[in-house]
Structure 1
Amino acid sequence: MPLLSRVLAFCLVGMASINPLAAATPAAPKAPSLPAETCPVPDERPEVTYKANIDPKETAATEAWVKEASMLPGWKELLNSPDVETRHCANFLLVTMPASDRHKVTGETIAENIRLALAARHRFPWAQQVPWPIFLNDVLPYACLDEARDPWRADFLKRFGDMVKDAGSRDAAAKLINAKIQDEVGVKYSTRRRAANQSPSDSMRQGLASCSGLSILLCDAFRSVGIPARIAGVPTWVTVNGNHNWVEVWLGADGAPKPDSEVTPLLALQWQAGWRVTEYNPDAKGWNHAWFMERAAAADPAKPETWIYATSWARTGLTFPMVWNLRSTQVHGLDRTAAYHALTGGRKVPVAPDKTHIALRAYRGDRRVAAEVTVSQGTTTQSVTTKGEDKDLNDVTRVEVPAAGGKVTVQSGDVIRTVTPEAGKELTIELRLP
């Protein structure tokens, strides 16, 4: 049996539910319609294709990498470790790490990551019972997206391990971290951050991050104490341009905790039901509540650019689209669209055919502000407040009006805008205040 086959057979025991090597001949990707650095609100809708992200040449390249790594300092010791869990972790990361990381992330760095991930797993009873395949895919990885590879795990285990030391369950621990992370790391949302895909240390140095950077922070915080987490997101909404990323945290039933665990289809289905939706600034209503849920529930199954995706470290045959680098197939993905439809009782119509949504932002200079706004149509007037800089750029105040009701007047102080409704559409109005 070739070396790569032996490694895969060893490290992917229990990974049947993830099916990391579900290879298919990839379709030729279309050129993305977005340039880099258009996050968080693209000027155009991105082109996202449902394609396998496994190059036919990858098997040979991975075979060569496995042979090379088996002789490298750090990797050699890991792959021959007397500890079975360490060997499983090393083999899993060896064959699933992005090709671009193979000569950048050293064996010594991988060893430290594995040591700390297993330390957290054994420290907390609720972490010990995370199914082994989910631990490998959603706790063990040293990165979330294509951010710079930080050694974040030691710092985060100290910070968040102390925070959850008395938590009696994964749910309780996750809620503590989610509630306290902003105070702990001192990072807030801002469109003035350096880049969309910042690493934890980069975001903490600036004190600023995009929705993607905040999601990386929260995902790594959960993972640091053995709680499975992954990034979820949408390339663009159905009715309006603009992407968003958030976090899914796994709070499912205990089971299959050991490296030699068998996975049955039933267990795999149970595990998939264990994911909960949240974000860095959590909704007061708890899991599976967020400002974007109604928008997510409108995702169109016929339009991949509007699907809801989640990341996977193991290969899935689908790419997780990153709007700052749509050409990249580095991050693997899962289609979560149907799950978000189910969370809200079925797919939602984004805008009723006889209605128009008016989306409102108010600015003073180049900063969004919370401003009192009236929206008038005929004899009907609605009063609302716009969102300030502390809210996600896509989290806008929206007002619904009849499409056939005539012109709509939007006013804040002396600033007045008029717009003609369009049936079944969402129109964005930006007010420039003195």
Structure 2
Amino acid sequence: MLSKDKIPVTVEATAMIKVGSTLQDIATAAEQFLGKRDEQRDAMADQVLRGHLRAIVGTMTVSELIEDRNKFSGEVQGQAGTDLSKMGLSIVSFVINDIRDDQNYIKALGAKEVARVQQEAAIAVANADKETRIQKAAADQDAQKAEALAATQVANAQKEKAISLAHYEQEQSIAAAEAKAQADQAQASADQAYAIQEAISKKETTEAEMQVELIKKQRETDLETQEVLRKAQENEANVVKAAEAAKAAQIAKAEADAREREVRAQAEAAAIEATAKATAKQREVTALAEATAIEATGKAEAEAIRLKGLAEAEAIDKKAEAMLKMNDAAKLNMALEILPDVVASVSSNLQAVDSINIYGGEGSSKILGMSQESLKQGLDVLGTMGLDVPDLLNNFSNRVTSSEKLETVGKINE
């Protein structure tokens, strides 16, 4: 048989044929095969089947015959079944057993198909291997990414942990530093308060002691002055006694002043020592403590100076009152006692001169003029103190003259 593509092929098929089931088929078969042998009947059916098989093979290529045997079998059954039904027969089954050729065309098609299949299989294997490798590479890449991400997350976690730990340690350090600073500040405040209170207490104690001592000295001065005045009033008639009383009063006053200066010096030294100690203590605390201590010290010193000034002013007033109550003899005696010191103080510039060389005849008169000028300055100083020496001498001379006249008159009367 020749296929559609002119390839001679051999087709082996098996057919099962029977007489039709209908009365018409049975009558037709009886008419066709009545009086014939079975071999003749089979040969007639075989010829019909072979003819249709050959015709159908000629309409299909070898590839179609091989690839679509069901179609091939169906075509044969359809065409052959029509002719067989005219003979009262029907095809029960028709099976293609084998298709082959003598030129190995089918085998070549198989080889080609095998090669194609193998190629496709190799490509499929390669593609599968490629896909496997791609998937494996992707999986490896994903795994690496996952590992890198995990490592990054671990590193970030460690970094965050380190940062958190550093922040915690920093906060702890700051808290400890703030606590220490607060403690130091509290201690400094306590030390400052103690130092200020101690300085104030010492100042107050010093001021109180100074006030007590000043009052005491003031009272002593008042008593001594009153005593001198009393004695001066009692002995006013006797100039010598009055002068001695005035001298005693002056000595007592000088001693009282000396004691007062000593007490003030001691008080001032104690105040300076307390201030120095407070200042040394305050250097260890804040600037506010220094300002407060300095302010307290300044106020205390200002108060002490004020009290001292008041005491000195009151003493000067007492002295002025005492001098007003003194008679001229007492004032003159006081002036004569003070005058040498005043003149010495005024002429202190001459004391610094080792020697004087006189050139010309007017040198001695100039030196005498300087001495007179020093004496005049000393008298002026006493005049500012309320002691006019020339006036006192005139008054004293007039009184002495009057006394002598009274004595003379008394003797004459006797």
Q: Greater share of helix residues, 1 or 2?
A: 2
Higher RCO structure, 1 or 2 (CA under 8 Å, sep 6+): 1
Structure 1 length-normalised TM: 0.18
Determine which structure has the larger strand proportion and give its number: 1
